[in-house]
Amino acid sequence: MTGNRNFSTENGNGARNGTGIRNGTGTRDGTGTRDGIFSTGAGFHPLLYYVVLPVTLLFAAVAWSPPFFHSSILEWHESWQRMLFSRVCHQQLDRTFAVQGIPLAVCSRCIGIYSVLPVALVIFSFFSTVLNIAKSYIVTLFVLASLIVIVDGAANLFQLWQSSDLIRVLTGVFWGLATALLLVIALTTHRVS
Amino acid sequence: MEPVESKSYWNASAKAGVVFGFVVFLISTIGSYITIHSEPTGNLLSGTILASGLGCLVAIFGGVLAVKFYINEYGPEMKIGQGAVIGLLAGVVMAVVSQILGLIWPVIDGAFIENLQAALITNIEISEQIPAAQKEDMIDAIYAQFQNYYSVGNILQGFLMGVVTYGLLNVLSGLLAAKFMGRNPQPEL
């Protein structure tokens, strides 16, 4: 026994990768289930189910909830939902979607992010194997999405141009999708079975 | 028998939390002064765009810095769950530090609360986004909010909101940092 024997180095084609890390292409995961190209996600890190998904769902639910609880802008202004996001979102009324006159808890860009994140996490988890192959592209995509949000936000701030709510929500959705991709590859490849 | 090295998350989390708690407070305070010194536009939260936009961007890096400190201290071998916990703790510290500084600053600048309150109320008065019937109520609410600035309830509420927001956001950034900056420990056989 050398103490550093790899016991899980086989990939789906029977070749050894020598890293000791399963690549998920047709190999068994730590729970004894099998990941295929269209992974069922059964081998995901428990953090996805017990932390990341609940957290993103919580943020999405709270962000959408004010119109279901409050009947005036005054109530909205005093609401815990608005206060919860007040540290991380400007919540400007002219840049926030409203339902029957009551604004959501976050601006249009943030509602795009928070809405798409839990949905994308669930959907992308079915394609974790494919996504892991494209890992480097996903990191690039995340950087690109972040740059778009930063540039558009800064341009709006310094009044170089004013984006419509549609553009803001689309940039938010794009960033949310890129973040979900990043989280999915983080929660699938960092495992040694 | 060699003593087992205890790897505490607190050192890294506390350092990163203090740094980012200060930065977040700084950005928030600058945003408030922009609101105070800007011409009223009728926009309810003018001046806080910079604060909240930058604040959000900066706040999520607390978990990243905390993981970096942890790696510097104990080496890169860590699980992503550890990164998540380190991020959570950094977020909690960040909330505490920014909350405390937010309570101290109005003591240093005695006119801060009064000026900010006046700027916000002026903005509400000329706002076109708020129905006229609700303006008086909102002004009363803002007035009451600043009157209760140092109440225990207000402080606890601010702290709780900060812990939830910063804590949970940094759980995500911490685990991502652990994934991309750390290395999964190899099993001992």
Q: How confident is the model at residue A34 (pLDDT cuts 50, 70, 90)?
A: very low
Q: How far apart are CA B175 and CA B179, in angstroms?
A: 6
Residue A10 DSSP SS3: strand
Q: How far is CA B117 from the centre of its chain?
A: 21
Q: Determine whether the interchain pair B84/A47 forms a contact, defined as Cβ–Cβ distance below 8 Å.
A: yes
State yes or no: pLDDT of A27 exceeds 70.
no
Residue labelled with tokens 């341009």: A155
Q: What are phi and psi of B187, to 5 degrees?
A: -70, 140
pLDDT digits 0-9 by tens, A146-167: 999 989 988 887 778 888 999 9
Q: Determine whether the interchain pair B141/A192 forms a contact, defined as Cβ–Cβ distance below 8 Å.
A: no
State yes or no: pLDDT of B3 exceeds 80.
no
Q: What is the pLDDT of residue A73?
A: 83
Q: How far apart are CA A159 and CA B10, in angstroms?
A: 42
**Token couple for A2:** 């050398």
Q: How confident is the model at residue B149 (pLDDT cuts 50, 70, 90)?
A: confident
Which tops the pLDDT comparison, B44 or A5? B44
Residue B43 DSSP SS3: coil
Q: How far apart are CA A183 and CA A161, in angstroms?
A: 32
Q: Give the chain A residue whose CA is nearest to the CA of B46.
A: A92
A interface test, pick of B30, B38, B44 with most A CB neighbours within 10 Å: B44
Q: How confident is the model at residue B45 (pLDDT cuts 50, 70, 90)?
A: low
Q: What is the pLDDT of residue A6?
A: 39
A100, B175 Cβ separation under 8 angstroms: no
Q: What is the pLDDT of residue B5?
A: 62
Q: Determine whether the interchain pair B187/A182 forms a contact, defined as Cβ–Cβ distance below 8 Å.
A: no
Q: What is the pLDDT of residue A191?
A: 44
Which tops the pLDDT comparison, A171 or A4? A171
Q: How far apart are CA A66 and CA A74, in angstroms?
A: 11
Q: How far apart are CA A14 and CA A3, in angstroms?
A: 23
Mean of the pLDDT values across residues A162-182? 94
B121, B142 Cβ separation under 8 angstroms: yes
* A163-192 residues touching B, CB cutoff 8 A: 179, 182-183, 185-187, 189-192
DSSP B7: -
Residue B89 DSSP SS3: helix
Taking Cα atoms as reference points, which of A50, A48, A54, A32 lies closest to residue A188? A48
pLDDT digits 0-9 by tens, B46-87: 566 667 777 777 888 999 999 999 999 999 999 889 999 999
Query: ∠A82-A88-A93 over CA atoms, to 5°?
Result: 50
Q: How far apart are CA B16 and CA B94, in angstroms?
A: 8
Q: How far apart are CA B127 and CA B165, in angstroms?
A: 29
Q: How confident is the model at residue B188 (pLDDT cuts 50, 70, 90)?
A: low
Mean of the pLDDT values across residues B140-146? 82
Nearest to A190 among B24, B166, B179 (CB): B179
Residue A34 β-bridge partners: A28
Which tops the pLDDT comparison, A136 or B14? B14
What mean pLDDT, rounded, does chain A reach?
A: 78
Q: How far apart are CA B33 and CA B21, in angstroms?
A: 18
Q: What is the DSSP string of A89-118?
A: ----GGGS-EETTEE-SS-HHHHHHHHHHH
Nearest to A55 among B48, B80, B172 (CB): B172
Nearest to B80 among A21, A47, A90 (CB): A47
Mean of the pLDDT values across residues B100-121? 91
State yes or no: pLDDT of B90 exceeds 50.
yes
Which tops the pLDDT comparison, B122 or B44? B122
